[in-house]
Chain A
Amino acid sequence: MGVLLIEKVFEGTVNYMRLLDEQGNADALFMPKDLDDKKAVEMYRWMSLTRAADAKMLSLQRQGRADTYAPSLGEEATQVGSAMAMRKGDIFTPNFRQHGVYFVRGWDLVSWFLYWKGYEEGCIVPKEVGGMPYIVPVGTQMVHGMGIAFAQKYLNTGAAVVSYVGDGGTSEGDFYEAMNFAGVYKVPQVFIIENNQWAISVPRSRQSVAKTLAQKGIAAGLPCIQVDGNDVFAVYKATQEALNNARSGPTVIECLTYRMTMHTTADDPAKYRSDDEVNAWKEKDPLDRLGKYLRKKGLWDDKKEQKLASDNLEEIDGAVEKAEKFKPDPKSMFENVYSFMPQTLKEEMDAAEANDFWQEKE
């Protein structure tokens, strides 16, 4: 006679972490050791610059001086907190919204403006920045990150890779495939889900009925955690711990944040979500929250705020001016397709040049 056997063979948990509350209070006991006052102020500066550059780009787009743009307003803590936790040599694979990550890692604003003005030259990211260019097809960057992480392990560089994906991106096959491969090959990769609650007009609830997006890592056998993505300290702490553990394998971090404005300049959020929802998130603003903390500790005041705002503007305006002087070279489109120039492609290029098809290049 057979016996019905049922036993629990697996149990998974996802913890939520927050360090800095909405009133700007954080318990020093739980702060990462290297996160001192100086670093907290530095975080505030990068988040402010990100917000200012974002606002500038929106205004340029509205004036017809830039192409479609994906704003980062409201998501600065997730981006700056994780980027500041990266070590020298670490590499990141972004989607199209991690502007703050680039700034922290030292990418120049001129190149950044060039990307959003529609020039490939805005994809030239110097090696020391450690960032891949923006990736637009959703989720596809996660497997690149996995391959780059594989190479770090294979070549024994000691570096790790941080790969960003949105809440919508966690529905893509490449997201699952990347986590699965990363687990099998035990590569040094950190998966950061920048869950801003909206994939254009589709809310988080329509992406998955899973209670958290972090738990998707459980199926791939990866440790996972959910953090307050508007708390820069929590994001920093979670990313730092994941990077410290990267030698023993990948980690999934879901950062709960909110896209305070449109997906890109091509949509109007008023059409698909309520003001009440947006207003509720205003109370949780990541920059205000960190500002409150710094002021309570006597590290920040109105005078410093004004100085920072004018410094940021000066830097941004200078970069815009340089970017707007950029002169494209149509031949560069042809000359960088292969390591060699096929005769047939050369003929296409020569014909275009000879017949002055590029007269509108200004």
Chain B
Amino acid sequence: MLTNMVGAINNALDLMLKADDKIVVFGEDVGKDGGVFRVTDGLQAKYGENRVFDSPLAESAIAGMTIGMAIGGMHPVAEMQFAGFMYLSFAQLVNHAARYRSRTRSNVKLPLMIRTPVSGGVKTLEHHSESPEAFWSHPGGLVVVEPSNPYDAKGLMIKALKMDDPVIFLEPTKLYRLFKQEVPAEPYEVEIGKAAVVQEGTQLTIVTYGTMVPLVKDVVAKKKTDAEIIDLRTINPLDEATIIGSAKKTGRVMIVHEAPLSFGVGAEIAARVAEKAIFELDAPVMRVASPSFPYPFPSYEKFYLPNATKVSQAIDKILQE
């Protein structure tokens, strides 16, 4: 079936609601309204209010509720309406979801998923375009997934809902309807913790994910750079082997992400490349990201987000080193 990312995620939820009675979908406006981005559109009509339902407005309770439901034998999928509001659930997710399994030595497992739209580029009101993947990855214990295309979105979602780990599923708003892709109608899985090599190359490795994947692909195609592009897909745990393997092959590594530069996913990748492949590099590792401060208002975003010029100049620079 030809679908965009919204359709692919909706289809994955549909298939999993059908396959597993323990799965429920809930959150603010996910019922009749189908969510503010319509990702859950039609699911309540199909599965009823027992399986797909609205919640009162309180992100900490939504997150804590998923923990309780998972403890009680369910597999909840909660939507956080926007990543910026999800910070209210930080204590629940970091204090509890991330460590319940380890603190009980696997006696209590938490099969749960928190979905949220992330990142900018669609001119939303302030607080509606955040890239929080590093926050959720840093404590450990939370699986953090961020697809960049419909096929991966569906496969990752289905795989995640068959695991008994807490999964933070980040959905780039900008990619929800940016393009369509042919996706199998039946259920399939995309491996979690495994990056995709979007295209092979020999001159340079570009590690990226989320909104930056289509941008990087465009720039590389236009410049005819012989770059190897890696789409992480899973942020935590990181597929280090694929990154290091590629770094050793090309000798040049650039990380491109939308989140602010400092203390981000790029820093983690750069550190790992330095630890395991520094003597095989021909150039210093380079990071392309948004500047080191919180997301600006929508009309300033164009001055903030990495764009084609910024990526292109970085490619020129790293190839000259």
Give the interface of A toward B (CB within 8 A): 91, 93, 120-121, 123-125, 132-133, 135, 137, 140, 142-152, 154-155, 173-174, 177-178, 180-181, 184, 332-333, 336-340, 342-345
Contact = CB atoms under 8 A, between A and B. Distances in A.
B92 A339 contact: no
Contacts of A344: 237-238, 240
Residue among B66, B73, B95, B107 with the most chain A CB within 10 A? B107
A358 to B, nearest CB: 17
A172 to B, nearest CB: 9
B15 interface: no
Contact of A178 (B64, B66, B108): B64
Contacts of B73: 151, 155
B56 A181 contact: yes
Given A123-B103, A173-B60, A339-B163, A144 B140 contact: no
A145 B64 CA distance: 9
A146 B65 contact: yes
A341 B40 CA distance: 32
Contacts, number: 142
Contact of A145 (B68, B74, B95): B68
Contacts of B240: 343-344
A338 B240 CA distance: 17
Interface in B29-56: 50, 55-56
B149 to A, nearest CB: 23
Given A150-B72, A344-B238, A338 B101 contact: yes
A154 B50 contact: yes
A123 B141 CA distance: 17
Given A93-B68, A147-B68, 19 more contacts: A120-B104, A121-B105, A123-B104, A132-B108, A137-B96, A140-B95, A143-B64, A144-B68, A147-B64, A147-B76, A148-B69, A150-B69, A151-B72, A174-B92, A180-B56, A181-B55, A181-B56, A181-B58, A338-B101
Residue among B24, B70, B106, B140 with the most chain A CB within 10 A? B106
A233 B78 CA distance: 41
Nearest to B53: A185
B84 interface: no
Contacts of A178: 61, 64
Contacts of B95: 137, 140
Contact of A174 (B64, B104, B143): B64
Contacts of A155: 72-74
B237 A332 contact: no
Contacts of A144: 64, 67-68, 71, 96
Given A143-B65, A147-B64, A333 B102 contact: yes
A338 to B, nearest CB: 5
A180 B238 CA distance: 38
A180 B66 CA distance: 16
A123 B101 CA distance: 10
B198 interface: no
Residue among A125, A338, A339 with the most chain B CB within 10 A? A338
Contacts of A133: 103-104, 108
26 contacts: A120-B102, A120-B103, A123-B107, A124-B104, A125-B104, A133-B104, A133-B108, A135-B96, A140-B64, A142-B64, A144-B96, A146-B65, A147-B71, A147-B72, A149-B68, A150-B65, A154-B69, A155-B73, A173-B60, A177-B61, A180-B56, A181-B65, A184-B55, A333-B102, A336-B101, A337-B140
Contact of B102 (A143, A147, A149, A337): A337
Contacts of B103: 120, 123, 133
B164 interface: yes
B91 interface: yes
Interface string B235-262: 0011011000000000000000000000
Contacts of B92: 140, 143, 174
B193 interface: yes
The 7 closest A-B pairs by CB, nearest first: A147-B68, A151-B72, A143-B64, A342-B237, A177-B61, A147-B65, A148-B68
A153 to B, nearest CB: 9
B115 interface: no
B174 interface: no
B17 to A, nearest CB: 14
B165 interface: yes
Contacts of A135: 96
A104 to B, nearest CB: 21
Residue among B60, B92, B140 with the most chain A CB within 10 A? B60
B61 A146 contact: yes
Contact of B193 (A91, A132, A340): A340
B109 interface: yes
Contacts of A150: 65, 68-69, 72, 74
A91 B73 CA distance: 13
Contacts of A120: 102-105
A143 B58 CA distance: 11
Interface string B169-203: 00000000000000000000000010000000000
A178 B102 CA distance: 25
B231 to A, nearest CB: 18
Contacts of A342: 193, 237-238
Given A123-B103, A144-B96, A151-B69, A181 B50 contact: no
